[in-house]
């Protein structure tokens, strides 16, 4: 496997490409030379109404700023719709996408996806209405509280990377970023501190890839964002899909009918 080369001025340990590393995010990131990955795309711990990852919220915020030293051009991250952190000096927020989740159970039916760049040129801010889970992705659902759809990560890769680029995710969880990179011929460096999720991520990488979906056209700065379909649930009990197997089967039956 290829690896990130060592800096001649600052000797660092190498992190192997196309691998999930069972490490603490800060331990791992110190082993990534500055400006050595094209983009950081991640879902860090952030304040949320479900009280998830309370002990790691500071880690999530601190890692975003550290990531700006490691990325050549983009840092892209999920966040709640409120209190989005500002970029550090020398970086610019160039897009703020919305991921609408029609099958979620929480009061807030969307997350924002923020893109920081070294270049101030603004990019299109898009709206993606993508279920957390539908019958077509039922086999891909894993026991992770904030798992993202592969389709959504593929869209982000299309927007911010090219074939052969390296993507770093210091909070890779159950491995969705890695799966999307594998499908789209990007290299990845994944980091996850929980060995249970590392095992899940590795198992997903071994599964055969599904047929490739048509790529979403990349819009220019004049294109309006997609519209979303209003959500119908007001249940505040959590963010995972409600009864995913039952809901998925209902959709499948409806399609056949």
Model confidence at 25, in pLDDT bands (50, 70, 90)? very high
Which segments of 109-240 are extended strands (E)?
Answer: 110-117, 127-129, 166-169, 187-191
150-178 pLDDT per residue, tens: 999 999 999 999 999 999 999 999 999 99
The chain-wide mean pLDDT, for the chain, equals 77
Average pLDDT over residues 223-249: 39
Residue 30 Ramachandran class (φ > 0 left, ψ -120 to 50 alpha, else beta): alpha
Q: Cα–Cα distance between 226 and 20 in angstroms, integer?
A: 34
Q: Which residue has the higher pLDDT, 22 or 5?
A: 22
Report the phi/psi class of residue 185: left, alpha or beta, with left for phi > 0 and alpha for psi in -120 to 50: left
Is residue 185 over pLDDT 60? yes
Provide the pLDDT confidence category of residue 207 given band limits of 50, 70 and 90.
Answer: confident
pLDDT digits (tens, 9 = 90+) for 99-122: 998 877 777 788 999 999 999 999
Nearest to 88 by CA among 67, 112, 111: 67
The pLDDT of residue 225 is above 60? no
Question: For domain 19-213+225-256, which CATH number applies: 1.10.357.10, 3.90.1640.30, 3.40.50.150, 3.40.50.2300?
Answer: 3.40.50.150
CB within 8 A of 94, min separation 6: which ones? 115, 116, 117, 119, 120, 121, 122, 123
Amino acid 238: pLDDT: 40
Residue 56, pLDDT > 90, answer no
For residue range 65-94, list pLDDT tens digits in order.
999 999 999 999 999 888 899 999 999 999
Single pTM value for the model = 0.74
Q: How confident is the model at residue 103, as a pLDDT?
A: 76
Inform me whether the pLDDT recorded for 212 exceeds 60.
no
pLDDT-derived band at 133, boundaries 50, 70, 90:
low
For residue 102, the model assigns a pLDDT of 86
């Amino acid at each position: 496997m290829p690896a990130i080369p060592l800096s001649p001025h600052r000797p660092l340990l190498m992190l192997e490409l196309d691998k999930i590393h069972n490490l603490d995010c800060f331990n791992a990131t110190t082993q990534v030379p500055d400006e050595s990955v094209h983009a950081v795309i991640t879902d860090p711990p952030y304040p949320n109404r479900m009280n998830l990852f309370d002990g790691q919220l500071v880690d999530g915020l601190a890692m975003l700023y550290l990531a700006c030293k490691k990325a050549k051009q983009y840092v892209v991250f999920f966040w709640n719709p409120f209190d989005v952190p500002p970029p550090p000096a020398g970086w610019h927020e160039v897009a703020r996408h919305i991921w609408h989740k029609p099958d979620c159970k929480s009061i807030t039916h969307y997350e924002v996806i923020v893109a920081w760049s070294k270049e101030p040129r603004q990019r299109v801010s898009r709206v993606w209405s993508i279920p957390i889970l539908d019958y077509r992705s039922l086999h891909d659902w894993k026991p992770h509280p904030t798992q993202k759809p592969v389709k959504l990560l593929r869209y982000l890769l299309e927007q911010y990377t090219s074939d052969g680029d390296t993507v770093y995710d210091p909070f890779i969880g159950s491995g969705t970023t890695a799966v999307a990179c594998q499908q789209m011929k990007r290299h990845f460096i994944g980091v996850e501190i929980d060995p249970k999720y590392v095992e899940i991520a590795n198992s997903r990488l071994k599964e055969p890839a599904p047929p490739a979906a048509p790529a979403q056209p990349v819009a220019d700065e004049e294109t309006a964002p997609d519209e979303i379909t209003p959500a119908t649930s007001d249940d505040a009990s959590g963010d995972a899909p409600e009864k995913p197997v039952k809901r998925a089967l209902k959709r499948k039956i409806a399609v056949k009918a």
